[in-house]
Every structure is written in structure tokens, then in C-alpha cells.
Structure 1
Amino acid sequence: MPRFRTATLAIGATALLLTGCATISAPTDTPAASDAAAGATDSFPVTIEHALGETTIDEAPERVAAIAWSNQDVALALGVVPVGMDTQVWNWTGDADLGVYEWTQDAIDELGGPQPVIFSSVDGVDFEAIADTDPDVILAAQSGLTDEDYATLSEIAPVVAYPDVAWFTPWRETITMNAKALGRSAQGEQLIADIEQQIADATAGSDFAGKTAAFFYASAADVSTMSIYTGGDSRTALLQDLGFDLPQVAIDAAAGGSFYQDFSAENADQLADVDVIVSYGDETLLPALQADPLWNTIPAVKNGAVVTVGSGDALSAAVSPTALSLPWVLDDYVALLEDAAAKVQ
């Protein structure tokens, strides 16, 4: 997994708002298993093309495993409780408990469980734990699987990998690919339409048009460098969904296949067309940036149009949009962005 995506979701992991815990094994016949196949409406077999090859799923899957980020939320939003899923704690140090965020746990509870096995992603893909859940399909449409990962997982079950570039899968395509794998394409299309309507309702009257915004990683403790998440990354792409334009640097870097780009303070002028900065961090970030004579030349910093979303807590995770986190965070996030947009001059 690329370093910034891992690191930024791991900061403050012990403070994460989590529910649920790891289990040892999954029974071979569960409500989740029977419901998964029963709700399929597509004809099988289905074939899904992706960056790592082509995957054919012969029959409607009964046992669904989901790995990496957001894939489990698609299954849950479509009425399927996975038999196993990756922990949502992106913590490479191993000192945080395995668990899931509340929007995911709420969906598991609403569907009547049972609680999925939670795979540890501390040391990469947990092949043995995934195999132990005996899945019929492995959802990984939003992931960073390597060729080797994909080959090993494919010995366990058919794998739905990312469509083009690792970690670049938009939330809509994550839904579309995973829904097809579950035999629920029509339900997936409706889910996308429902979320788009929620976005339209939440942003009605917002003054985002004509303003640029991007998501950043910055630290008040060290403002020598800021990193921008490019237009290919789901965090910045969500800002475009909400009505902002993207700054040119985010567009250009995404075209080169990068989901982030570092900028030193000496190159602050390259971010001059960013009207609103959204970043991990807390209320100490803006004063630190404004105290720096280079960063304070950026209009977003000078005007105070900076939104911080925390580090490692639920809000900071929810802005990496999933089928469940996006509805959960939408109203609060839009309110924060409206406050920042009002400061743009």
C-alpha cells in the first residue's frame, strides 16, 4: 500500500471510533452466506475485466470476502454481510485493536450479522485468514493488490481487482464492479443514484461552483512540506463531486498516475490556485501555516479557507468515501466546506 494512504489513516489509531472485534473463524453455513446468493438478480457466469486480468465468477457467490478499503461497505449496502473483511484500522505498527467504523458496524447489525471475521492488514494481505473463511469471491475493486497478491488470492477464490491504477478506483466504479461480482448490478446502479441524490440535496445552495479545492496531508509540527492528494484519489475526487473544481496541479499529477504529490514550502507558489485546502490535522494546522511566510502566500492559507478533519478518527476516515461512509459524513462535511468556501476572496 502506498505510504501516505497507509500513514494518514493510521495516525491516532488508538483513538479511532471503532466497534466490533476480530473473530476466530466463520461457520460454514451462515445467514450471510444464504442471503448473498438469494439476492442476486444477474445471470451467471459473469466476467469482470480489471488491471490484473480477467475474472469469471461461475455462480452467484454465497460467501463473500472483502479486502482493502471500502469494498465491504458495497457488499453491506447491497444487503450482503461478508464472511470476512479487512480491519479498517490502517495501522502498520500493530498496536491498535482490529475493528470497523460505526457506519460499517451499523450495517452489519441492521442486516442481522453474523459478525465477519476481521483480517489483519498490518503485514499486508492475510492470505491464510482469508482462505480460512472459504470465500466464493474476494472483493478488491478499491485496493493496491500486486500481481503476486492477485495470483495467490486467485488460488483461494475469484478476485475482483481494481480497474486501472492501484487505489484510483472512484466510489461509483467500486460499487459497479463489486455489485456485478455479487450479481446485483441493478441494485448497484440504484445505490449510486441514491448517493448522488443525497449529494445533490446536501450541497443545494452551497457556493462551491468556480472555487478550487483539494485534499492534503500536512502537519502542524513540520510545515516544511505539504502533500496534495491528486484528482485520481478518492478524497480529492469527492470534493469535485460536491461541486468544487480541481486545481491544475491535482489534475496534472493524476494524469501521471500519482495519487499524491509533495510540495516543499519553497514551491508554495505552485499551489496558488487552490482556494480551499482540506487536510488531516486539527485546529493547530492553520495557525502553523499562516505563521510560515511561504505558505501564507497561498490564498487558501491567507484567507483561512482551511478545513481539518482530524487524524485517525471516524471523520478523517469517512472522507475517503465508501458506499456507507459518504452518506454518514455528508451533511457534516458539507457544513465544514461551506464555512471555508465563505472565506474565499
Structure 2
Amino acid sequence: MTPRPLIPALALALALALAGCGAPSSGTASSAGSAPAASGPPSAEGFPVTVTHGLGTTTIPHKPRRVVALGFADAQIAAALDAPVVGVARNPSAKDGNWPGVTPPYPAALQSLDSLTPNLERVAALKPDLILMTTAQPAFGSAYARLSTIAPVIPYKNELLQDSGDDLTLMIGQALGESAKATELVARSRERLAAFAAEHPTLKGKKYVFGQQYSGNIYIVAAPDGPSAAFFSALGMKQPDELAALPVQQGGAGQLSEERLDLLDTADVGFFGVYTDKERAEFEGRPLASSLDLVKKGNLHYVTLDDASLLLGPNPAVTETLLERLRPALEKIAR
């Protein structure tokens, strides 16, 4: 059977299934110093630069002029920083191939890469001098050493899908030689979050839940220090203690048994990824699901794959997009 396409929201389930096999161990991590010597332009001021990340360090000899973006946040942040992108992994759930919040959108000609499976020959053919994969699928982490022979690579900072969006923006900005732009982008994002919270002061103390159903199992993004939690915290919101206490596995998710669906009612609002009619019918057919106050009050919101990716990996490049998509649900509980 052909595997179902997995974009960031569903990467949680994939990561759980792989049980940590998606990235090389620290023993195999290497510096991108093994990449071929670039025959690019003379080094700009501030270069070479060395970036420390979750798989070691990467040295970038000159200001990048040909950037490849393999993860959804990489595409979003690179666009916001006006990076010279020559190739980007396509969003399989979008008709135009762009990830949500990418501004300006990438033309179809640049969307030449698969977002699920590394194609090293195609990446190499783009002749990149920097490869961004901070939020790329786990298969790209496994190919880190081989990708590093093509060009300097920037993977996740600490843990896949658990890095702060601010941190990723600053790290990518450093790699691009655009630290000032990155710092400004982070500042604007924080100001926008603070303004939204000020406009909706009754959100303070409200509780949220973000999860998904996948292959019959229910996962809650429960990591208390993860990027989703940080986003809602900036609005004054928090996870219910009962859900935050779930054992967190790789990807920042904890599995919720069907018998404990009642815990969803500890939240004031829920955002739930159920991506097919069959899965939605299966979820709503669970006896406890239909009796939830969250459902009866209309505060359990089914989200699309794109919205789930924004919630899973919020970053300064998409703050405005995410706030506007969540605005109706948040304003409802803020009344």
C-alpha cells in the first residue's frame, strides 16, 4: 500500500512509529566542512560563519547565493528574509505547492523537491551553497551526512519539531548573513502576539488543546516547552494540567487513550486534526467524543493539514497568518 503523504502535522505519528530512527546519532553527526569547497563569491563581511545545531556545527564560507529549503519553516522563514532560494520542497496538500504563510509565494519552477523523500541528485543539480532543513521530514535527517557533501546544511537546533520558532529564525538568519533582518522579524512577531493578547485580555488563563487523530490513535501535542505551547502562552493561554502531564514522546506528542477522551473537556477550546471524512466519522463515532462539552459548545475545531502545520511549528514568518486563522475560535471563547 502506498504510504499516505505526511506533512509536518502527521510527522508526529511518523516520528513516534520510527522511535527515533529519523536522524543520525551524535556519533555520526558531522560538520558541513565535508562539503565541497565553494567556488562562490568572495566572503562578505561576517563570513565565514559557524552555526551550532543539533547535529554538530556547520561552517558557511561566504554569504549564500543559492539556497535550498527542505522544511516547511525553512521555506517560510527564507521567504520572509528574502533569501535567494533556488529550490524548495513542495507542500503536497496545497494546489500551488506553497506552505501556509509563505510570503511572497514561491513560483512553481522553484518547487522542484519532494517534501517526504530526499532526492540527493535533484538537490545537487540545483548547485546550492546552503541547504536549510530545520523542519524537514525525518528522512532528511538520516541523509544529513550525504547532504553535507553537497553544501553546508542547517538542520534543527535542538530537536526536530521542538525548536522555538524564534530560535530557528535567528539561526537561519545567521546562516544567511541576515541576522539583523531575522532579529527584526522576531521582534515584529513578538509585538504582534502581545498586541493580540492586549486586544483579547480575557484569553488570559484560558486553556487549549491541540491534537490529531491518525491511524485510529489520538495524539495530543503536550510538550510544555514546545513551540505550540510557546505560541499559546504568548496569548496568555495554557494547556490543562491533565493534558500537559501526558508522557511526551518524540515530536512533542503524547498518546491519549479512547477511555480518557474526557480529558479534552479540561480545555476551553480545541484544535484537532482529522484529515479525512472517514477519520472524522471514526472520531465522532467514539461514544465519549459525542458527549464532550467541547463538542456540544462548538469549541472543538477541526483543522486542515496546513493549519495543523502552522500550529505544530509556529514561527515569526507566519505569526500573522496563524493568528488570523485562529481568530474566530479564539474570539469566541474570549467573549
**Correspondence 1:211 to 2:206:** yes
Residue of structure 2 in register with 1:81 after alignment: 84
Q: Quick check: 42-51 or 224-233, which moved more?
A: 224-233
Residue of structure 1 in register with 2:169 after alignment: 175
CA distance in 1, matches of 2:314, 2:142: 27
Residue of structure 2 in register with 1:18 after alignment: none
Contact 1:42 1:185 in 2 (8 A): no
**Correspondence 1:238 to 2:231:** yes
Alignment counterpart, residue 104 of structure 2, candidates 104, 107, 111: 107
User: Alpha-carbon deviations, 1:144-191, whole Å to 9, x = none?
Assistant: 446531101100011111112122122111101111100111211110
Alignment counterpart, residue 61 of structure 1, candidates 58, 61, 64: 64
- Matched residue pairs, number? 300
Residue of structure 1 in register with 2:129 after alignment: 136
Report the AA paired with residue 306 of structure 1. L
Residue of structure 1 in register with 2:27 after alignment: none
Q: Please state how far the C-alpha of 1:83 moved relative to its aligned partner.
A: 0.7
Q: Quick check: 232-241 or 44-53, which moved more?
A: 232-241
Contact 1:253 1:261 in 2 (8 A): yes
**1:242/1:200 CA distance change after superposition, 3 Å:** same
**1:235/1:257 CA distance change after superposition, 3 Å:** same
Q: Please state how far the C-alpha of 1:125 moved relative to its aligned partner.
A: 1.5
Q: Please state how far the C-alpha of 1:334 moved relative to its aligned partner.
A: 2.2
Residue of structure 2 in register with 1:226 after alignment: 218
Residue of structure 2 in register with 1:148 after alignment: 142
Unpaired runs of 5+ in structure 1? Answer: 10-35, 91-95
What root-mean-square deviation, in Å, do the aligned CA atoms of Structure 1 and Structure 2 show?
A: 3.8
**1:252/1:144 CA distance change after superposition, 3 Å:** farther
**Correspondence 1:189 to 2:183:** yes
**1:187/1:235 CA distance change after superposition, 3 Å:** same
SS for the counterpart of 2:220 is: strand
Q: Please state how far the C-alpha of 1:3 moved relative to its aligned partner.
A: 9.0
1:18-97 matches, cutoff 5 A: 43-89=46-92
Q: Please state how far the C-alpha of 1:204 moved relative to its aligned partner.
A: 2.4
Report the AA paired with residue 107 of structure 1. P
SS for the counterpart of 1:118 is: coil
**1:165/1:253 CA distance change after superposition, 3 Å:** farther
Contact 1:108 1:114 in 2 (8 A): no
**1:41/1:336 CA distance change after superposition, 3 Å:** farther
CA distance in 1, matches of 2:260, 2:74: 37
**1:254/1:57 CA distance change after superposition, 3 Å:** farther
Report the AA paired with residue 256 of structure 2. F
**1:286/1:201 CA distance change after superposition, 3 Å:** farther
Q: Quick check: 170-179 or 287-296, which moved more?
A: 287-296
Q: Quick check: 327-336 or 186-195, which moved more?
A: 327-336
User: Alpha-carbon deviations, 1:35-56, whole Å to 9, x = none?
Assistant: x989x98611211111111111
Unpaired runs of 5+ in structure 2? Answer: 12-39
**1:121/1:293 CA distance change after superposition, 3 Å:** closer
Contact 2:65 2:84 in 1 (8 A): no
1:207-286 matches, cutoff 5 A: 207-218=202-213, 225-231=217-223, 234-253=227-246, 257-281=250-274
**1:193/1:302 CA distance change after superposition, 3 Å:** same
Contact 2:118 2:143 in 1 (8 A): yes
Q: TM-score, normalised by structure 1?
A: 0.72
